Amino acid sequence: MALRVLVTDGMDAGAMEQLRKDGYEVIEQFYEPAELGKALRDFDVVVVRSKTKVRAAQIDEAKGSQLKLIIRGGVGIDNIDHKYAEEKGIKVMNTPRASSDAVAELAMAHMLSCARFISVAGHTMREGKWEKKAYKGIEIHGKTLGIIGFGRIGQALGRMAKGMGMNVIAFDIFHIPGIEEQTGINYVEMDELLAKSDFISVHAPAVDGGAIINAANIAKMKDGVVIINTSRGTNVDEAALLDALNSGKVYAAGLDVWAEEPSKNEALYSHPHVSCTPHIGASTTEAQKRIGAEIVDIIGKFFA
């Protein structure tokens, strides 16, 4: 009997076809949380992205069944209660390498959009306006970029930013041995990063202690700072950010992720100094093919 794979949030079509060629039965279907746990009992593998949350309740319903492996097609695994799953004998894995460049490129795109009003200027043109004098921007060349979270995505963004003439510093709670020599980017403490950076880009997983970008940390930043978040929506206190945008403390923000998705925070996403996208960091053709290929490889090796 063929091993069964459930794909809940979509996956590269070529990768699904490869799994079928390899002898797996692949079912693509999204389940609401109340239905997911029971459904998982009928599968050996479940592949999720951001939309599906696999929490303890679903794991409890699935434990003791044929479910052996949960794969997150992406970098983080905070939408899965992974420690609980592994305690119940269910392996949890992700695809950390596949989407790093795509997310880093989107962060850079938001930086440029914030600096030059690309989002709002394009919007007003589509409204028939020609507000040339309203959008005097800033240059990123020569500015300091502070990267919070210096894993694969943060490192990729750092390389891009250095290539565009920016000074780059980084903070991470884990100091990777030799990373400063490897990248030419210096680690600093958080308060130093907040004080020195003209642009701040967040690439950390969701943290238990609350938002990284909160009112207290915003107060430590330069006046006119630009904040970018392509990591997790809960890493930014949206109310504090909106207040800082309105006061001018924060010049602009580029946001791909939101505390609630789909976001209902119209005051934030419609702000003229906000460049916004609906959680599309990994949504490139190339990244999705790489994610799919990595998932196929993970499944193949796991059941070898």
Peptide bond into 278 cis (omega under 30): no
Q: If we measure between CA atoms, which residue out of 82, 38, 83 comes closest to residue 64?
A: 38
* Whether 261 is catalytic: yes
Taking the C-alpha atoms of residue 6 and residue 134, their distance in angstroms, rounded to an integer, is 50
Q: What backbone phi and psi angles, to 5 degrees, belong to 222? A: -60, 150
Residue length of the chain? 304
Instruction: Reply yes or no on whether 49 is catalytic.
Output: no
Beta bridge partners of 93: 71
DSSP assignment of 31-85 equals --HHHHHHHHTT-SEEEE-SS--B-HHHHHHHTTSS--EEEESSS--TTB-HHHH
Q: Which long-range contacts (CB under 8 A, 24 or more apart) does 36-40 make?
A: 36/8, 37/61, 37/62, 39/6, 40/6, 40/65, 40/67
Q: Which is it for strands 250-255 and 274-276: parallel, antiparallel or unpaired?
A: parallel
What residue type is 97 in one-letter code?
A: R
Report how far residue 111's alpha carbon sits from residue 26's, in angstroms, rounded to the nearest whole number. Answer: 39
Q: Are 118 and 137 spatial neighbours (Cβ–Cβ below 8 Å)?
A: no
Looking at 232, 238, 271, 294, which residue is catalytic? Answer: 232
| Catalytic (active site) residue 203 | no
| Residue of 238, 279, 290, 294 marked catalytic | 279
Residue type, 176: I
Can you tell me which residue has the tokens 């680690």?
187
Catalytically annotated residues: 232, 261, 279
